[in-house]
Structure 1
Amino acid sequence: MGSPAFDRDVPPSGPAGHRAYVIGDVHGRLDLLENLLARIHSELQRHPAPKTTIIFVGDLIDRGPSSAQVLERLRTYRRAGIETVFLLGNHEEVLLRILEGEGALIANWRTFGGTECLESYGVDPQALRHANHGEALAIVRRAIPKEHVHFLRSFADSCQFGDYLCVHAGIRPGIAIDEQTQADMRWIREPFLLDDSDHGFVVVHGHTITAEVEQRPNRIGIDTGAYRSGVLTALGIEGTERWLLDTRSQAD
């Protein structure tokens, strides 16, 4: 199954008899998603688990070339013995806000991955070049299938797995989990990243890119910049064991 990724005197634990794979920011890289899923499926064949959950920490869309295809793949993903949990990232939040009527966000969204997202839905970026907010909004709404909108609206803000809390960006230190704001869980950086206090659980998050998985006693950052690095990473958790899978080598 791979050697443990971390050392700790009293390691946190997942629920008994339950394995999780937490996958970092996909950002429109269907090729890497398929590669990583194949590695997970292969590992489960070699080392079955009584129960398995795959948790996606958000930012499935934008930047990479295949946002539409990633959403469709995961919307229709079914595999015996595997449950899925999808968390809403800041990129999904922006798209949903646009679809709900905030057409003024489109121009800015296009500069951080929205253009690539729209192209994956067959939209010619030139069609938006001279469009006003209302016209641009109509183009975006026509492009995104209602099934994808419903799928995105079903995403959660957090997922607790034993002694681990999975969120997209992080949490506000010193604030109870049930009092965290959606804005912090989807957008926060330094107040969370620089904090070394014990949150009561290990926070597993994406959002902030690092060349390698960032492993700290109170948090684990798993966004390895897939859209530009070609490395999509998953953190495996079962009992007190933790290990890493990524796309730098082919599936076994």
Structure 2
Amino acid sequence: MRSYAIGDIHGHLDKLIEVQRWIEEDKARLGDADAPVIHLGDLVDRGPDVPGVLGHLARGLSEGAPWILLKGNHDRMMWHFLQSPSQPDPLRGDLSWLQQNVGGRESLAAYGIDVSPDRAPEQIHADARARVPAAHLDLLDALQPFHRRGGTFFCHAGIRPGVPLDQQAEDDLVWIRARFHDDLRDHGALIVHGHTPVAQVTLYHNRLNLDTGAAYGGPLSAVVIEDGGVWQITATGRIPLSPQS
């Protein structure tokens, strides 16, 4: 059972296309075109081409690409803002998608929307509803909170330790950090996640972090998981990963 996974994209279409090409080259060597590619969420915000990323992914799915798209906290914030400018993330009511450093303004500016600070959120919302294509809204609405395949559980941020994997709350799946990171127990599956940037793809004994900071100028990373092993996918082929001690 072979699965590929890609970390947090954050609006970097060029990096996404490059990494997807590396995966297709790996698949071609193996003759396994149907192996799924799980995208771990945070498709949007902070990068230069959110419309390009969402459009590319929507087209690929419509053409039958074996891609699975998971929901990240940034994707969820964008979806909620597009429903209503006064509808914050259910867990993080203290955050506005339009506030500095979150990334919503940059995402909407890429659609050609005026996101000047002197414009009211209601005005920006109205323009967003007019300019963001329905296919992009549909894609955000259809993102999955998690995906389980064999002994691997894929999600954006992580899981709440001690809670059965099929009973995880979406708030934890898209937002959790320390409580998950600090728990060393076996979770019943290898948890593959992003959300918290690390300097390089890092395999632990119970989890695998794929967020290598594309949002902040770092690379976009991908892995393949098969036969109990994990390999990073690169331009020059596979690199085996071993758990940190």
Give the TM-score normalised by structure 1.
Answer: 0.85
In structure 1, give the amino acid aligned to 2:107: C
Q: Distance in 2 between matches of 1:85 and 1:104?
A: 27
Q: Match for residue 12 of structure 1?
A: none
Assess, with a 3 A threshold, how the Cα gap between structure 1 residues 148 and 80 changes in structure 2: closer, same or farther: closer
Partner SS for 1:92: helix
Find the aligned partners of 1:161 and 1:38 in 2 and give their Cα distance: 23
1:130–1:78 Cα change, 3 Å? closer
**What is the CA–CA distance in structure 2 between the aligned matches of 1:78 and 1:46, rounded to whole Å?**
23
Match of 1:97 among 69, 76, 80: 80
Shift of 1:78: 5.4
Tell me, which stretches of 5 or more residues in structure 2 are unaligned?
A: 90-94, 239-245
Unaligned runs of 5+ in 1: 1-14
Pairing of 1:24-35 with structure 2 (within 5 A): 24-35=7-18
RMSD, matched Cα: 2.3
Identity among equivalent pairs (%): 35
The answer to whether structure 1 residue 113 and structure 2 residue 103 are counterparts is: yes
Correspondent of 2:175 among 181, 187, 204: 187
Q: Does 1:41 align with 2:16?
A: no
Q: Is the CA contact 1:38–1:251 (under 8 Å) kept in the aligned structure 2?
A: no
1:1-252 to 2 correspondences below 5 Å: 15=1, 19-49=2-32, 51-77=34-60, 82-103=65-86, 105=88, 108-110=96-98, 111=100, 112-126=102-116, 129-246=117-234, 249=235
The DSSP-based 3-state class of the residue aligned with 1:65 is coil
Alpha-carbon separation, structure 2, partners of 1:218 and 1:241: 13
How far, CA to CA, are the matches of 2:179 and 2:130 in structure 1? 38
CA distance in 1, matches of 2:43, 2:136: 12
- TM-score by length of structure 2 reads 0.87
Q: 1:151 to 1:78 in 2, by over 3 A?
A: closer
**In 2, Cα distance between equivalents of 1:215 and 1:124:** 42
Deviation at residue 136 of structure 1 after TM alignment = 2.6
How many pairs does the alignment contain?
Answer: 231
Shift of 1:47: 2.1
Question: Secondary structure of 1:166's partner?
Answer: strand
In 2, are the aligned partners of 1:164 and 1:204 still within 8 Å (CA)? Answer: yes
